[in-house]
Structure 1
Amino acid sequence: MLSYRHAFHAGNFADVLKHSVLTLVLEYMTRKEKGFYYIDSHSGAGMYQLADEYAQKTGEYKDGIAKLIGNNDLPEALQPFIDLVKDLNRESDELALYPGSPGIARQFTRRQDSAHLFELHPTDIEHLKEYSQRWNKSHVKQSDGYQGVLGLVPPPNRRGVVLIDPPYELKEDYLKAVRTIVNAYKKFATGTYILWYPVVKRELVEQMQDAFTKSEVRNLLQVEYCQQADTDEYGMTGTGLFIVNPPWQLSSQLDEILPYLKANLGNSESQYSVKQLIAE
């Protein structure tokens, strides 16, 4: 379908959760000198201008990153992500730029690392190519990201972070994304996999959980933050992540981040959870 543009949603509450976790995972990977692959199945544009017509039309970032960027009481686990966004905006008097997942990965990849970015949307791929032009060791392809992931694992250095972040324009994406990780895991069981999902219909999330628990995947953490209670009405009420082989301290870091998000972005209906869905 290729109608989805993340520019409408950049910096919203779902991005804050996803990107704060991605920041912590990548920071953890750089603690070792040995290089790693970063593989992004649905990369988007790379960087977003919050003043453009897309972000301004929805204003979703105003109820997300904009409510956190100036806070002085941030939990330690959220600080790296907020510092990264602040640094990108250091030459502006206001919040002007918001990084997509490639924009975050670019801040962490070193000479020994490489980034592999996939995007199909004809407009976003051009933005992504332009953004990545001077990013050494970045590889941008306008091709199917699911197949791209499977074609790149295991990486030669046997260290990797895979982010699968589809638009879920099709219901089939929910199980297709899980199957991609299950198949990648068979080839590369020690990689860290992050799968983002929206909470639109609870039964679709339950189908993903069921597919994972019936698979060979081990050490799977599930984190969820919902702004509103589940509903049968159309629209995203919450967001979540499945994380395979998370850094050992990530669960406790989420125990800091999630209550803070509820207090600063949420309301009386908001709720969150962190659970080890599959043991090591």
Structure 2
Amino acid sequence: MLSYRHGFHAGNFADVHKHVLLACVLAALTRKDKPLVVVDTHAGAGLYDLHDPQALKTAEYRDGVMRVWSAPHPPKALSPYLEMIRTLNAADGALSLYPGSPTVSRMLTRDQDRLIFNELHPADHGVLRANVSGDPRVAVHQRDARELPKALLPPAIRRGLVLVDPPYERDREYRETLDLILEAHGRWPTAVMMIWYPILSAGRHRGLVQGLARGGVKALLVSELCIAPPQTPMGLNGSGMAIINTPWQLDRTLADVQPWLHACLDPQGQGASTLEWQVPPQAG
């Protein structure tokens, strides 16, 4: 199925949670001079106009990025994310553009790094290709994401990150995502892997997280940010991110960032924020 279009949800609370974590991971990985590769398996269009009819139809960004745009006293670790948003919107100073994960990766990596973006949807693939044109670091693919481990991994540069962010339109995508990650991890066991998932009342994300924890991965840190109780029969109750081969001290960074972020995105305190090791890092 190719019905999902992220433009309707750009900049919502789940996007903010996802991209803040991505920015924190990239900050950790770029502290070393060695080059890295970022592989984005479900890249989307790359950049979104919040005044576009798709975004305005749902206006989910108003309860997402708009709330953190000028909130007071953000943690220092949020600076790269917030500065990126301000840079994108510097022309008029208003919040009108929001980055997808490809733009986050492009803006927060360096000349020596390489970026591989994959998007199957033909319309979004075309927009993505246009948005990254002229950047010699970027390769754009249009494949079923399940093909990527065998086709592209491991890359020549063995240090890097895989971001997996499916739409989860079908129930079986949870199992497919688990299979994709375990295959990717088997082919590139040193890579940091970030797996985003929705938290819905059906609770299908729990099987995905448990499958990762039992799959032989190392240092599995799980961050969840809910704006409603998980059992609430609404749309999206929360946003989750599982991180394999978690960079050193990322847990400390997120322990500082996540409470502030949750307070911004859930001002009524209806949900909860959790950060826990499903597979603790090995000593030494």
- CA distance, structure 1, for counterparts of residue 32 and residue 233 of structure 2: 46
Which residue pairs with 1:185 in the alignment?
185
Does the aligned pair in 1 maintain the 2:196–2:242 contact within 8 Å? yes
After superposition, residues 146-225 of structure 1 pair within 5 angstroms as 146-225=146-225
Cα shift at 1:103? 0.6
Superimposed CA distance per residue, residues 83-102 of structure 1 (whole angstroms, 9 cap, x where no aligned partner): 11111111123101100000
Which residue pairs with 2:252 in the alignment?
252
Unaligned runs of 5+ in 2: none
After superposition, residues 21-170 of structure 1 pair within 5 angstroms as 21-170=21-170
- CA distance, structure 2, for counterparts of residue 212 and residue 263 of structure 1: 29
- CA distance, structure 1, for counterparts of residue 209 and residue 102 of structure 2: 27
Which residue pairs with 1:278 in the alignment?
279
Which residue pairs with 1:239 in the alignment?
239
Does the aligned pair in 2 maintain the 1:109–1:115 contact within 8 Å? no
TM-score when scaled to structure 2? 0.94
Cα shift at 1:61? 0.5
- CA distance, structure 1, for counterparts of residue 270 and residue 108 of structure 2: 36
- CA distance, structure 1, for counterparts of residue 201 and residue 151 of structure 2: 31
- CA distance, structure 2, for counterparts of residue 265 and residue 137 of structure 1: 34
Change in Cα spacing, 1:109 to 1:80, as seen in structure 2 (3 Å) is: closer
Does the aligned pair in 1 maintain the 2:89–2:96 contact within 8 Å? yes
Cα shift at 1:122? 1.3
- CA distance, structure 1, for counterparts of residue 143 and residue 217 of structure 2: 26
- CA distance, structure 2, for counterparts of residue 262 and residue 159 of structure 1: 31
Number of aligned residue pairs: give it: 280
Does the aligned pair in 2 maintain the 1:40–1:145 contact within 8 Å? no
- CA distance, structure 2, for counterparts of residue 132 and residue 95 of structure 1: 21
Q: Match of 1:240, SS?
A: strand
Cα shift at 1:109? 3.1
Does the aligned pair in 1 maintain the 2:37–2:161 contact within 8 Å? yes
Does the aligned pair in 2 maintain the 1:201–1:230 contact within 8 Å? yes
After superposition, residues 255-270 of structure 1 pair within 5 angstroms as 255-266=255-266, 267-270=268-271
Cα shift at 1:144? 1.2
Q: Match of 1:190, SS?
A: coil
- CA distance, structure 1, for counterparts of residue 213 and residue 93 of structure 2: 48
Superimposed CA distance per residue, residues 47-73 of structure 1 (whole angstroms, 9 cap, x where no aligned partner): 000110011111110111111111231
Superimposed CA distance per residue, residues 213-253 of structure 1 (whole angstroms, 9 cap, x where no aligned partner): 22111110011000000226241100100000111121112
Does the aligned pair in 1 maintain the 2:71–2:264 contact within 8 Å? no
- CA distance, structure 1, for counterparts of residue 262 and residue 214 of structure 2: 32
Q: Match of 1:68, SS?
A: helix
Q: Match of 1:77, SS?
A: helix
- CA distance, structure 2, for counterparts of residue 149 and residue 90 of structure 1: 38
- CA distance, structure 2, for counterparts of residue 188 and residue 85 of structure 1: 32
TM-score when scaled to structure 1? 0.96
C-alpha RMSD over aligned residues:
1.4
- CA distance, structure 1, for counterparts of residue 230 and residue 110 of structure 2: 41
Query: 4+ residue runs of structure 1 moved beyond 4 angstroms?
Result: none
- CA distance, structure 2, for counterparts of residue 115 and residue 199 of structure 1: 28
Does the aligned pair in 2 maintain the 1:89–1:95 contact within 8 Å? yes
Cα shift at 1:279? 2.2
| Letter paired with 1:223 | S
Does the aligned pair in 1 maintain the 2:213–2:220 contact within 8 Å? no
Q: Match of 2:139, SS?
A: strand
- CA distance, structure 2, for counterparts of residue 237 and residue 150 of structure 1: 34
